[in-house]
Amino acid sequence: MSYLSTYVRSGSDPKVLRSGRSSLSASDRMARGLGWFSIGIGLLELLQASRITRTLGMEGQEPLVRAFGAREIASGILSLSLEKHAGLWSRVAGDGLDAATLMTALRRQNRKRDNVGLALGMVAGIAVLDMVTAAAVGARHGRRRGHTRNYSDRSGFPHGVAAARGLAREDFETPPDMRSAPVAGAGGDERRHSRDV
């Protein structure tokens, strides 16, 4: 990916020579994979709704399948965003809707109920994967209740306070571009005033 970004950048931008180690955890990578999978399934449901309903013996349910496809795409986009935790749990909720809809097709009159059973098994497996990933992402990125971060050991001086003493000398001269700034006057005109530090 770093090679591709090098070709896309303009001539004045710095080039990426090599990328470092990824900061993404296994759960983050799994969330990304599930997001792209969700978008792919959603597109399939939008574009091939009639084929899906024929395969499952659910003719006449094409609008519902397309609605589920739109939901899958939205969940996938959310799973790829910073709100991946919400996207993954929306996928879990969608798996429940998919399973409930498929259960209605398990009637005896449906000659393709074997396909429905296979689809239910796939939905169950994906639901488990979604739940495990959502829990892992939540544990990694969520803040524990009642947990307050402690920054008392930080001073704001990277080399310590002692090393910073004496750096602001008395003969220090304020740079010219920091000496004056526009100020709005009473009549709306701008006046410049000197602010020597």
Residues 42-64: tens digit of each pLDDT = 999 999 999 999 999 899 899 99
Give pLDDT, residue 25: 77
Cα(174)–Cα(6) distance, rounded to whole angstroms? Answer: 40
Of residues 140, 15, 49, the one with CA closest to residue 88: 140
Contact between 67 and 79 under an 8 Å Cβ cutoff? The reply is no
Q: What is the pTM of this model?
A: 0.61
pLDDT of residue 50: 93
User: What does the block give as tokens for 134?
Assistant: 């959502």
Q: What is the pLDDT of residues 62-73, one digit of tens each?
A: 999 999 999 999
Over residues 12-35, mean pLDDT: 75
CA distance 75 to 99: 17
- How many Å apart are CA 87 and CA 38, to the nearest integer? 10
